[in-house]
């Protein structure tokens, strides 16, 4: 299989397209053919050598989406569309490849109304958003300020807070165009810090 692997953690020049064996399906893992791979700040941190727990060579990518090809049982039958994240791309080969052997507990079925590219970017942003809201003690009726509406996590926090009944779900951006785009998407409480103060 083809994979984009970091041969060294020295920046983008450390990446190389390589041929690797398809991962074996052992220890209850599920073989997933990758259709889309998410890119997170962790990928950049590892690639730049600032995450010292990872060891090169390593296929990056800790979240993705794909189709079950083997080992999913009745929970994830062959052909199921799934998304996942985990230690992939940090402590074991990740989603920047054609196939990944995924732990069943890391898998989630993709709803029919969500495409694979969108699904590949959901796990890290939305789980981070949920953790942030939980740690902040969020409950319905509260006001939430989630900076950086243009980023995946700020956007996810704002969406989740609204869906969970926030009185106000506010965000910010330093870019007028992003503020206008967010407002066009229904985010009415966006502060454009290039022209307003918080």
Q: Minimal CA–CA distance to 121: which of 43, 32, 194? A: 43
Per-residue pLDDT reduced to its tens digit, 78-123: 999 999 999 999 999 999 999 999 999 999 999 999 999 999 999 9
User: Both 44 and 86 in a single domain?
Assistant: yes
Whether the Cβ atoms of residue 61 and residue 124 lie closer than 8 Å to each other: no
Give the CATH number of the domain where residue 84 resides: 3.90.180.10
Of the three residues 79, 102, 120, the one that is the final residue of a domain is: 120
Helix, coil or strand: residue 163: helix
User: Both 15 and 106 in a single domain?
Assistant: yes
CA–chain centroid gap for 178, Å, is 21
User: Both 61 and 139 in a single domain?
Assistant: no
Asked whether residue 197 is domain-assigned, the answer is no
Asked whether residue 159 is domain-assigned, the answer is yes
Per-residue pLDDT reduced to its tens digit, 27-79: 889 999 999 999 999 999 999 999 999 999 999 999 999 999 999 999 999 99
The percentage of the chain sitting over the pLDDT mark of 70, rounded to a whole number, equals: 100
Sorted by sequence, the CB contacts under 8 Å of residue 131 that are 6+ apart come out as none
């Amino acid at each position: 299989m083809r994979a984009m692997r970091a041969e060294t953690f020295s920046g983008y020049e450390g990446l190389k397209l390589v041929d690797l064996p398809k991962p074996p399906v052992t220890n209850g893992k599920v073989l997933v053919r990758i259709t889309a791979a998410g890119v997170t700040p962790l990928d950049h941190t590892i690639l730049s050598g600032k995450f010292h727990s990872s060891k090169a060579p390593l296929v990056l990518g800790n979240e993705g989406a794909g189709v079950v090809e083997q080992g999913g049982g009745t929970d994830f039958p062959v052909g199921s569309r799934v998304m996942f994240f985990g230690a992939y791309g940090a402590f074991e080969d990740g989603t920047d490849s054609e196939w990944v052997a995924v732990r069943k507990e890391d898998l989630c079925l993709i709803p029919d109304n969500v495409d694979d590219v969108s699904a590949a970017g959901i796990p890290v942003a939305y789980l981070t958003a949920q953790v942030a809201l939980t740690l902040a003690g969020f409950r319905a009726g509260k006001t939430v300020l989630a900076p950086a509406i243009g980023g995946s996590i700020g956007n996810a926090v704002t969406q989740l807070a609204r869906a969970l009944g926030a009185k106000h779900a506010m965000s910010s951006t330093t870019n007028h165009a992003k503020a206008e785009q967010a407002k066009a998407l229904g985010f009415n409480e966006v502060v454009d810090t290039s022209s307003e103060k918080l």
